[in-house]
């Protein structure tokens, strides 16, 4: 059983439109989703269209349009509940909504034909903080006052690739379990 997270995070609330954007970190924490479109049509745009465009159009409550650069958007949410944070122009797919240490995944396209795409993992110390590479050194630096967590990291994880181990039976990342037990 996954231990309950005691971190301060907001519950995301439902709204009539299931996909859209969080314009700011405060909007994300408050669950204030704005309806967005990749074009000026009123048709519902797909999540992937929103991710692919440089500019989005936000439909305000008075049905007026507001053009927003994707770089000024905090996150995009799909109807399936997938959330992608936009950070420094990159798309980071949130893997564990509601956990104390958010883990993100980025798929990096191959440099040449025939190579496989690479997957790289990241984290932030809370849902709205800067995104960093998911490494043992970065985790230790991010939580300098939690000596039990530092010791647990050294005990349970041999190298950086162990940090994104996922327990599919219990539906949580091992990093979350280790962090929870070290508090």
Same domain? For 101 and 163 the reply is yes
Same domain? For 55 and 82 the reply is yes
Same domain? For 47 and 126 the reply is no
Q: How many structural domains compose the chain?
A: 2
Alpha-helical segments (H) within the chain:
25-30, 47-52, 136-142, 147-156, 174-182
Q: Which of 17, 27, 122, 102 is nearest to 72 (CA)?
A: 27
* Domain termination site, one of 86, 114, 144: 86
pLDDT at 109: 78
Same domain? For 35 and 113 the reply is no
pLDDT at 55: 78
Q: pLDDT tens digit string along 138-151? A: 999 999 999 999 99
Same domain? For 109 and 181 the reply is yes
Same domain? For 68 and 117 the reply is no
Beta bridge partners of 85: 75, 92
In a domain, 2, yes or no: no
Q: Would you say residue 3 has pLDDT above 70?
A: no
Query: At CA 91, angle to CA 86 and CA 96, rounded to 5?
Result: 90
* pTM (two decimals): 0.82
Same domain? For 151 and 107 the reply is yes
Same domain? For 159 and 112 the reply is yes
- In terms of residue numbers, what domain contains 172? 95-183
Q: Would you say residue 152 has pLDDT above 80?
A: yes
Rounded to 5 degrees, φ, ψ at 91 are -100, 120
In a domain, 123, yes or no: yes
3-class SS of residue 166: strand
């Amino acid at each position: 059983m996954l231990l309950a997270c005691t971190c301060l995070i907001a519950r995301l609330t439902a709204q009539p439109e299931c996909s859209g954007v969080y314009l700011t970190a405060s909007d994300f924490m408050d669950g204030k989703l704005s309806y967005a479109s990749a074009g000026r049509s009123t048709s519902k745009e797909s999540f992937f269209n929103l991710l692919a465009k440089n500019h989005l159009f936000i439909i305000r409550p008075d049905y007026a349009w507001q053009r927003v650069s994707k770089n000024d958007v905090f996150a995009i949410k799909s109807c399936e509940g997938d959330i992608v944070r936009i950070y420094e122009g990159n798309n980071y797919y949130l893997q564990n909504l509601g956990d104390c240490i958010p883990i993100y995944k980025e798929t990096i396209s191959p440099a040449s034909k025939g190579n496989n795409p690479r997957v790289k993992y990241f984290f932030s110390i809370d849902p709205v903080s800067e995104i960093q590479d998911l490494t043992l050194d970065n985790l230790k630096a991010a939580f300098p006052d939690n000596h039990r967590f530092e010791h647990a990291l050294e005990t349970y994880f041999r190298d950086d690739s162990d940090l994104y181990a996922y327990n599919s039976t219990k539906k949580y990342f091992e990093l979350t379990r280790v962090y929870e037990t070290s508090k």
